[in-house]
Structure 1
Amino acid sequence: MRARAGSDRPLVLITGGTGTTGRAVAARLAAAGARVRTASRTAPAARDGVEHARFDWADAATHEGALRGADRVYLVAPAMVEDPSALMLPFVERALASGARRLVLLSASPVAEGSPGLGLVHRALRERAPEWTVLRPSWFMQNFIDPRHPHAAAIAGRGELTTATGGGRIGFVDTDDIAEVAARALLDGAPHNTSHVITGPEALSYDDVAAIVSRIAGRAIRHVRAGEEDARAYLVRAGIPSPYAAFLVSLDLAIRDGAEDRVTDVVQRVTGRAPRAFGDLARAHAHVFRGEPSARRGGPAA
């Protein structure tokens, strides 16, 4: 995966450039020789080969500068917004009008094309963008090790995971695998022009996750099977706005009913290598689950 040489190198704009996948995508593109511009409300640490533009989904005055000269765009929705389409659809139109040809959207596995929110953005890309890809990853493995996430915080603090998923299973995926697929979609010579449901190699329940983490941490971690209202209240106490917490619990209920019990071959097919298993990631971050001081001083692992 290499960008074109010389003045033909594409300029790739990465919205959410300081986020979990945005940072990883930017690093891969820069290493491949692409010109990279990250865009976010706060500036990231300086990196060779990466420029930065201030960007706020809710502030249209920041959009023109971010898009200037970009012919490829990685779209990451604003955080904790239940329906991001009102902010994203005008930006998509502006990106196309400014000359961007290839748009890659980070969506999510439960979001079908045309459904409210990101599903509407998905449909707009297919209908309007000359070249497009929609990434629909399953739940991030990094949710269990990033201290900003309620799951990671609860494991570290109480030794618990609380969900309304019951025994439902999920094809948890490493964000590095998502970033690799995204980088290919942005730089491959031929556009993908499709939607990719991205999973890890196995579907696990939260009971399974708790058992794996317990073995690695050397202490008991349990999955609390909460009801709908208790799960919503738990997320609100963790700092998630109530409407968005309700949305997340609705996804839990769909998982409980089997909606995410699947694995796909996308990572292998697009990148040429197998996706990372959760046990491998958990062992690599055993210090996080054991609560070692070096882990508490460190930043997010994603």
Structure 2
Amino acid sequence: MTTNTENPKQDTVLVTSGTGKTGRRVVERLTALGVPVRAGSRRGGVPFDWEDESGWGAALRGADAAYVTYYPDLAAPGAAEAMEAFGRIAAESGVRRMVLLSGRGEPQAVVAEEALRGAARGVDLTVVRSAFFTQNFSEGALVDGVLGGELVFPAGATAEPFVDADDLADVVVAALTGEGRGEELHELTGPRLLTFDEVAAEISAVTGHEVRYVPVSGDQYAAALAEYGMPEAEAGFLAELFTMLLDGHNAVTTDGVKRVLGRDPKDFGAFAREAAEDGAWQV
């Protein structure tokens, strides 16, 4: 983190999911800046498990800041209670600053945000509400669909302003290091709206093999997730969440990335070209 002559000590940051899609990127950026980082993980690194509150105090002890990413989503049942407990323990442990990853357009996630804010007394909290990540197509749940030529998802013809996870990580690091302070909420999107049909077309263009979008209902998607081994309750929750998020109310872009970083967010086309060049979709 940035230093000054009065206090040259660099803050230690806990990243609750140091191997996750955004957590890994935040860890890499903080490490490159020389910031001491604790990468939380259920396996390896600093032990951290959202299902085991008993280990949170040890992970937070001595940390000055934290990047908080809750699994599976802040709108999930039990998330508000977990945020309240985490905020209390963080404040008791001496944490001074937190950045929370949240979902854009999720009313229940706002309840969890406020639970954390209310419990973490004396802690500066920045909430980052994000659109769908572009990386969901290259290293997330949808990559198998791209490789198989069919994107199956309950999105219909709704457009989404997909945001690049690298842009989000840059915003998070700015908030953690103090460069992005002054605002308690950032709403992040990419620069344009795309339907899943258009996403499939753009990926097809850069990979040279056809990818098509196959719309399904929320119930059909939940059944497909369960077939892949996801617990039925979690599959149902995620399908319901995606259906709600893609009902059109999020189909608008924001200037959140530019306001924090002073540059435009990465376009989906640029992401797709880079992912293809890096071999993300080699069949």
Structures share fold, TM-score greater than 0.5? yes
In structure 2, the partner of 1:296 is: none
Against the structure 1 CA distance between its residues 223 and 3, is the aligned structure 2 distance closer, same or farther, given a 3 Å change threshold?
A: same
Q: Is the CA contact (8 Å cut-off) linking 2:86 and 2:116 kept in structure 1?
A: no
Structure 2 Cα separation of the partners of residues 160 and 263 of structure 1? 26
What pairs up with 1:135-174 in 2 under 5 angstroms?
A: 135-146=128-139, 149-157=140-148, 159-174=149-164
1:183-198 aligned within 5 A: 183-188=173-178, 191-198=181-188
Distance 2:191 2:73 in 1: 28
**Superposition pairs for residues 39-118 of structure 1, below 5 Å?**
39-43=40-44, 52-79=45-72, 82-83=76-77, 84-112=79-107, 115=108, 118=109
Q: Which amino acid aligns with 1:37?
A: R
Q: Which moved more, 1:238-247 or 1:163-172?
A: 238-247
Shift of the alpha carbon at 1:154?
1.6
Please say if residues 21 and 179 of structure 1, whose CA atoms lie closer than 8 Å, have aligned partners that are also in contact. Answer: yes
CA contact (8 A) 1:41 1:55 kept: yes
1:42-85 superposed Cα distances (whole Å, 9 cap, x missing partner): 22xxxxxxxx4222222233222211111211111134783223
Contact persistence 1:126–1:193 (CA under 8 A): no
| Aligned-partner residue type, residue 21 of structure 2 | T
Conserved in 1, the CA contact under 8 Å of 2:106 and 2:245? no
Structure 2: runs of 5 or more not aligned: none
Question: Structure 2 vs 1, CA of residues 11 and 150 (structure 1 numbering), >3 Å: closer, same or farther?
Answer: closer
Residue equivalent to 1:285: 275
Report matched runs for 1:19-30 at 5 Å.
Answer: 19-30=20-31
Q: Given the superposition, is the C-alpha separation of residues 173 and 62 from structure 1 closer, same or farther in structure 2, using an over 3 Å criterion?
A: same
One-letter amino acid matched to 2:114:
R
CA distance in 1 between partners of 2:59 and 2:70 (Å): 15
Is 1:208 the counterpart of 2:208? The answer is: no
Q: Distance in 1 between matches of 2:262 and 2:269?
A: 21
Change (3 A) 1:219 1:119: same
Give 3-state SS (helix, strand or coil) of 1:150's partner. Answer: coil
Find the aligned partners of 1:189 and 1:261 in 2 and give their Cα distance: 29
Cα distance in structure 1, aligned partners of 2:12 and 2:245: 38
Report percent identity of matched pairs: 37
* CA separation of 1:130 and 1:175: change in aligned 2, threshold 3 A: same
Distance 2:245 2:67 in 1: 27
Aligned length: 275
State the SS of the aligned residue for 1:285.
Answer: helix
Q: Which residue of 2 aligns with 1:47?
A: none
Q: Give the distance between the partners of 1:227 and 1:41, measured in 2 at CA.
A: 33
CA distance in 1 between counterparts of 2:192 and 2:235 reads 26
Tell me by how many angstroms 1:93 deviates: 0.4
After superposition, the Cα gap between the structure-2 partners of 1:102 and 1:257, relative to the gap in structure 1 and judged at 3 Å, is same
The one-letter code of the counterpart of 2:131 is S
Q: Deviations over 1:74-133 (max 9, x none)?
A: 111134783223333212101011111111111111223xx2xx4333113444353111
User: How high is the TM-score relative to the length of structure 2?
Assistant: 0.89
Structure 1, unmatched stretches of 5+, are: 44-51, 292-302
Give, in angstroms, the shift of residue 18 of structure 1.
1.3
Q: What's the Cα RMSD here?
A: 2.1
- Deviations 1:154-205 (CA, angstroms, capped at 9, x unpaired): 2212x10112211001111111111101001111157344221111111111
Could you give the per-residue CA deviations for residues 115-154 of structure 1, whole angstroms, max 9, x where no partner exists? 2xx43331134443531111111111111111xx331112
Letter paired with 2:105: P
